[in-house]
Amino acid sequence: MRNYKAFLWLLIALGIVLRFVDISVPDLSTDEAQFIMNASPAHPPIGKALFQVAQIIGGHNIVSVRVLAAIIGTITIGLIFLVVREIKNTETAMIAAAIASIFPSHILFSRLAYLSIILCFGWWFLLLAFIHARKNPSTLRLTALYVAGLVATLIKTQGVLFPILLIIGRIAEKGKSSVRDPILWVLAISMIPMGIYALTQPAVAAAFLSYGGTSYGFSNIIERLFQLGSAWWHWNHVIIVVGIISLPFLIKVPWHISAMLLAGVLTSYLLGPGHSYYTTHLIVFAVPISIMIKKMGTWKVPMICGVLGVITLLTTGPSKFIPFPYSEFSKEGFWNEHSAKINEFFLGEDSITVLGSAGHHIRWYISPRVLVGKQFKPPYPTEYILLLNDSKVDDIDGIVEYSEKNITVMRQTNFSYQDHY
């Protein structure tokens, strides 16, 4: 262990640093803005509340909310170390932490303000609490399990999947005695608040029934599998191949590690392979990978970890200095670059009209209240109009104040505040 412990610490430090690289570069996506602005009741409150706290502390800026994700992503590495130390030993735990720290998708989505990175933390927190309670179901440990179950289920709606798998596995493990098992009861009770939330929020059911259910794994099975594989490869490249090779080593760990992997895969498959942020859960591959590498012999540990680290660095390092940057981080986002100038035209305006397909990110970047004009007829109800494409420029009696790419700001010449306010 002495021969490569320092090297593993170096890899862990590299992974932590990479989680804070380029966090201000991509535009805020509409999904990120939805979470940050608490715009959808389809998701429970804990994850969204954390983003609100980040904005209270750091202000209304993209760095503050994404730094929160990076910090939580970093803490997750520590949780993985603690989990593997409990089920194996300190040496394997160090290797697992090193692999987890350089896991590409977890690095990249630790830079973005998605709820998935927080849910990943919640699941590992729950897994650690479950392992401790399973060894010694004391009052303190059962309380920690309850808190962990509460946190994991109230971060994101699909957070219930992993606790459900733990309950199923625990019933299979305990058999007839499961009726009297305190761990089972604590897990079940911790899910009650999420059940109440789902029953009292119509948006939860509406989200699952949207598009006739086709976006939630009920059709196009083969196509969804190909999409899932493509997303895995796009974000993880070589390390996912190593992870798949390491799958036989899952038999050397308790069943709840396999349950974590199953929960991650099912979440990705059922809730949209195109939602690549679900690849954060594949960080669980760090466990079988670490066991596999440990079995290969002492001198091979730093060699294999080093190769994986170099590959990760070449793809997730600072985009201006690496040969293979991800497209999301290779150039400044349009709204990050232009929103300040666009907002200059809106000084003193309470509201503006937006024509075109407006996502939640528009509301994040634009200072006045946004009126989405899908059903509006000219003249529009505000003096300023933001066009997300130029198809209607000729239909508006107004002056083009600003134009950049597919964004146009216009001021109506026939607008009267008296008519509309």
Where along the chain do its domains lie?
2-329, 334-420
The pLDDT, as a whole number, for residue 214 is 57
Q: What phi and psi, each to the nearest 5 degrees, are found at residue 155?
A: -85, -50
Distances (CA, A) of 23 to 36, 105, 309: 15, 14, 20
Closest CA to 26 of 108, 119, 118: 108
Query: Beta strands 398-404 and 351-355: pairing type?
Result: unpaired
Per the listing, tokens 């997303």 go with 231
What does the pLDDT profile of the chain (421 residues) look like in tens digits?
Answer: 667 899 999 999 999 999 999 999 999 999 999 999 988 778 899 999 999 999 999 998 999 999 999 999 999 999 999 999 999 999 999 999 999 999 999 999 999 999 999 999 999 999 999 999 999 999 999 999 999 999 999 999 889 999 999 999 999 999 989 899 999 999 999 999 999 998 888 777 666 665 555 556 666 788 888 889 999 999 999 999 999 999 999 998 999 999 999 999 988 888 877 789 999 999 999 999 999 999 998 888 999 999 999 999 999 999 999 999 999 898 888 999 999 999 998 998 999 999 988 889 999 999 999 998 877 888 888 999 999 876 677 778 889 999 988 899 999 988 876 655 5
Whole-number Å distance between alpha carbons of 140 and 309 = 39
The pLDDT, as a whole number, for residue 218 is 62
Token pair belonging to 271: 């809730």
Whole-number Å distance between alpha carbons of 94 and 383 = 60
Q: What phi and psi, each to the nearest 5 degrees, are found at residue 41?
A: -75, 0
DSSP conformational letter for 379 = S
- Of how many residues is the chain composed? 421
Closest CA to 28 of 115, 112, 100: 112
Q: What phi and psi, each to the nearest 5 degrees, are found at residue 28?
A: -65, 125
Neighbours of 187 (CB within 10 A): 25
Strand partners, 409: 386, 402
The pLDDT, as a whole number, for residue 416 is 75
